[in-house]
Amino acid sequence: MNRFALFAAPIAVAVAASLAIAAPRHASYTADQAVRGRLAYIQNCGECHGGDLAGQFGPALAGPNGRTQYESGAAVYGYTIAHMPNGNAGALPQDEYLDIMAYIYERNGVAAGARALTAQTVARDDVALGK
């Protein structure tokens, strides 16, 4: 191994590690949660926010003009559980809110992961959607 490789390799590892630590990440959700979330969304949210989250009476929740764009997952989830469904806030079971949030993540381009979304993980999610 040449001297440059001996010098550069530890630096590359240190930079990669610091980027991995510093880079914020969305809370994880599973593909199954997003599927359930789509069904719960259609039943509880679609009438106002549109079947494809593009908005109707309520604002869009995905896409370039989405209300959730540039909002953190924690902010969207907090607003949702405190105010939705309109006129019946807090009426859904927590797992349905989490499933709906997983669907919102999916529709905003956040890839599914191996771990289910929980109230604790979404509450810590400070990454802006739509990026």
pTM: 0.81
pLDDT tens digits along 18-69: 444 444 578 999 999 999 999 999 999 999 999 999 999 999 999 888 888 8
Q: What is the structure's pLDDT at 114?
A: 95
pLDDT tens digits along 65-123: 888 888 999 999 999 999 999 999 999 999 999 999 999 999 999 999 999 999 999 99
Q: Which residues of 14-49 are buried (b: 16+ CB within 10 A; e: fewer)?
A: eeeeeeeeeeeebbbbbeebbebbbebbeebbbeeb
Domains of the chain: 27-123 (1.10.760.10)
Backbone angles phi, psi at 72, to 5 degrees: -75, 155
Q: What is the structure's pLDDT at 24?
A: 52
